[in-house]
DNA sequence: ACGGTATACCTCGGCACCGATGTATGGTGC
DNA sequence: GCACCATACATCGGTGCCGAGGTATACCGT
């Protein structure tokens, strides 16, 4: 998730670590903050894997900074991660939102649609959070107001997302024809 | 999150690891599966911390099983984690839903309401995923259909949750009076 | 002069998590 | 007779993540 965000931001423009950090904080920081001690090692990992290069530059304001630039291999890796996300990226909202934030980088509308269809298939599966045996329970069947809240909120999210997915898939199909 | 779920399920009734695993899979598995190799060490951690005890019992079907039972300290720890959740438990939906699934265990309606109010405060903060400088962008201002989707979905979730939170807080206040 | 804050990057220890793999038993299908 | 699956628990190596702490520069207010 973090690596995807790094690759996604750098695909737009080279950045140095500090600005990248602020971009990531804006994207997901209110929900799931990323520590500096997580970001810098992640950058080094990606550098070691040949996905980005660092160039030292005199600091505009303070200490010298390392401008990060995607390599060609880094661009290809971003495309792979966008086009063939792991199942976790599809099911976990945090991961999914990060993926959506950069899905526009995938040039082919058919490839974009294929990813959306995976999410659609996931949302269309009958799934709950609470069961009686194997039978999913609906909000109305629960006495617990907090568990009822979970289902109420999840249902509202699901409805909004299904509507958006169907709309967006329809318009991607129009482009693809 | 995992530890909270373990404590929460065991508070209802003693269980052995395998059944606990299926309970957890039902609760959060469709979004974020938990590996066996994560669950068993987590159980050992909690045992080592004195929050639960394991009792060997001849296996009903197969191998002998370890029935897990919360200690008194385990019950107190659950109450602490429910009443004073870390900020991550409030902001991250995955964590938050797990907390909600067990919030009924917190006996005091005022304490339950205090937790809901922390979530309410978080949701009422103006926050987006995308910014122009410091100004949060609305869905309508975005060209990117995927980023627009993120905001559309997040807004629907937020609305449903705010309505539920206000309803539930009102009824908790009625009980508390 | 000095503290506070923002910029800018880094290391280290500890720990949670995961995939792969191992070890059993017993029931079901072919 | 044998494969397969469900039950039931466990270890191990690798890795990602985090908090705490460290090292600088530069500007602003007092």
How many C-beta atoms surround the C-beta of residue A17 within 10 A?
Answer: 17
Q: Say what the pLDDT of residue B137 is.
A: 83
- Residue of A28 and A64 predicted with greater confidence: A28
Residue-level pLDDT at A90: 96
pLDDT on residue A45: 95
According to the model, what pLDDT value does residue B173 have? Answer: 84
- What pLDDT, on a 0 to 100 scale, did the predictor assign at position B177? 64
The pLDDT score that the predictor gives to residue B83 is: 96
Residues in chain B with CB shorter than 8 Å from the CB of A27 are 129-130
- Nearest residue in chain A measured CA to CA from B125: A30
For residue A78, give how far its alpha carbon lies from the nearest alpha carbon of chain B (Å).
Answer: 16
Domain residue ranges in chain B: 2-82, 108-176
Nearest residue to D17 (CA, C1')? A38
Closest residue in chain A to residue B106, using alpha carbons only: A146
CA distances from B68 to A22, A99, B8, B72, B78 (A): 44, 39, 12, 13, 15
Closest partner residue to B101 (CB to CB) among A31, A100, A129 is A129
Q: How many CB contacts within 8 angstroms connect chain A with chain B? A: 114
Chain D: bases < 7 Å from a protein Cβ = 6-13, 16-21, 23-26
Q: pLDDT per residue over A34-59, tens digit each?
A: 999 999 999 999 999 999 999 987 66
**pLDDT at residue number B136:** 81
| CATH class label, A2-78 | mainly alpha
Per-residue pLDDT tens over the stretch A119-173: 999 999 877 788 877 778 888 888 999 999 999 999 999 999 999 999 999 999 8
CB contact under 8 A, A30 and B97: no
B134 DSSP assignment? T
Among B147, B161, B171, the residue with its CB nearest the CB of A101 is B147
Q: Is the pLDDT assigned to residue A6 strictly greater than 70?
A: yes
Domain B2-82, architecture per CATH: Orthogonal Bundle (1.10)
Inter-chain touch B92–A32, beta carbons under 8 Å:
yes
Instruction: Confirm if B28 and B34 have CB atoms less than 8 A apart.
Output: yes
| Chain C: bases < 7 Å from a protein Cβ | 6-13, 16-21, 23-26
Which H helix or E strand runs over A7? helix A2-12
Give me the helix-helix angle, A145-176 and A109-124, nearest 10°: 150
- HSE of B35, CA atoms in CB hemisphere, 13 A: 4
pLDDT in tens, chain B (177 residues): 999 999 999 999 999 999 999 999 999 999 999 999 999 999 999 999 999 999 887 656 666 788 999 999 999 999 999 999 999 999 999 999 999 999 999 999 999 999 999 999 999 987 778 887 777 888 888 899 999 999 999 999 999 999 999 999 999 988 766
- Closest CA–CA distance from residue B117 to any residue of chain A (Å): 13
């Amino acid at each position: 998730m973090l690596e995807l965000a790094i690759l996604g931001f750098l695909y737009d423009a080279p950045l140095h670590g500090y600005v990248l950090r602020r971009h990531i904080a804006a994207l997901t920081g209110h929900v799931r903050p990323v520590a500096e001690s997580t970001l810098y090692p992640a950058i080094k990992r990606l550098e070691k894997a040949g996905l980005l290069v660092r160039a030292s530059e005199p600091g505009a304001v303070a200490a010298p900074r390392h401008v990060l630039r995607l390599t060609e291999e880094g661009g290809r890796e971003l495309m792979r991660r966008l086009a063939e996300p792991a199942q976790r990226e599809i099911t976990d909202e945090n991961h999914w939102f990060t993926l959506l934030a950069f899905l526009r980088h995938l040039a082919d509308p058919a490839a974009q649609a294929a990813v959306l269809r995976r999410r659609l298939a996931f949302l269309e599966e009958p799934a709950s959070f609470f069961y009686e045996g194997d039978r999913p329970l609906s909000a109305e069947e629960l006495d617990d107001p907090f568990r009822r809240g979970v289902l109420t909120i999840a249902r509202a999210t699901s409805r909004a997302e299904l509507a958006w997915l169907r709309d967006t898939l329809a318009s991607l199909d129009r482009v693809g024809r």
